[in-house]
Amino acid sequence: MKTEIKGVNGLDNKEKLIISEIKSLINLKNMEPGEKLPSERLLADRLGVSRGSIRNAIQKLEFYGLLKSMPQSGTFIADLGLTAINGMIHQIINLPTPDFKSLVETRIFLELKLVKFAAARRTEEDLSEIEEVLEKYKFKVLAGEDAVAEDLLFHLSIAKASHNPSLNRLMLSITPQIITDFEKYHVCKSNTALNAIDEHQAIVDAIRFKDPSRAEEKMKEHFSVLYQYCYESN
């Protein structure tokens, strides 16, 4: 049997099936928004699978905010109405696995905004943390060592300074996949690391002086190679 390759954050066939069945059951019972889902035992029995599998599927839907389990009480359906629930679950199940270009496109888009917010909202603590991370990055690069991790932490420290937990979370959720893809597709050339020091420094300076547009501009320059890769065919 062939090994099933499941993309990051994707759903395997069994999960899709169970989620789809849960959707059908919600429709069948014509449940009101905010109502309780049938108990895990009942679902497991009804769908002919174990409770563990049901709990797994519920956790996936909890991530998308469609369900919420309350201990010793029940699992509640988001107060969205049947039509919305159906539409969302349909899209979730049929969501394609993000490809590399989607991820890069998303990252550039996210980070250009994050750095603007960071420049506008950063506290002194944020700035200290960013500078501290930058120093570690410089040290590694100047020592001729690999600094992929330090580069990553630099960008994450900016994301944190944006003071938008929602965007920060999105950034966190796509970062590892991008990093590993970078190495796979050999996008990131190590010989550009020396340039990157100056680019990073320019970004930090803009954040220090609370200049959002300059911060965005410098981040754009930092991403220029990546940007080119992403839109070379457009």
In three-state secondary structure terms, 36 is: strand
- Considering only residues 81, 132, 145, 209, which one is a binding residue for its own copies as defined by CB under 8 A? 81
Amino acid at position 234, single letter: N
- Considering only residues 35, 98, 127, 221, which one is a binding residue for its own copies as defined by CB under 8 A? 98
Q: Which of 63, 58, 51 is nearest to 23 (CA)?
A: 58
Residue 55 or 208: the one with the smaller Cβ distance to DNA is: 55
Q: Which of residues 71-90 bind DNA (CB under 7 A)?
A: 71-75
The binder of 190, among DNA, its own copies, none, by C-beta within 5 to 8 A per type, is none
Distance of alpha carbon 174 from alpha carbon 222, whole angstroms: 19
Q: Which of residues 142-201 bind DNA (CB under 7 A)?
A: none
Contact flag: residue 8 with DNA (CB under 7 A): no
Binding string, residues 11-30; x marks residues near DNA by CB under 7 A: ---x----------------
In three-state secondary structure terms, 204 is: helix
CB-CB contact of 192 with 221 (8 Å): no
Stretch that binds its own copies, among 39-47, 150-158, 185-193, 214-222 (CB under 8 A): 150-158
CB burial class (10 A; 0-12, 13-18, 19+) of residue 66?
buried
Secondary structure E strands in the chain: 67-70, 74-77
In three-state secondary structure terms, 164 is: coil
CB-CB contact of 4 with 12 (8 Å): yes
Which residues are near DNA by CB under 7 A?
A: 1, 3, 14, 36-42, 49-53, 55-56, 69-75
Which residues are near its own copies by CB under 8 A?
A: 8-9, 52, 56, 59, 62-66, 68, 78-84, 87-88, 91-92, 95-99, 102-103, 105-106, 109, 113, 146, 148-150, 152-153, 156, 160, 164-170, 172-177, 179-180, 183
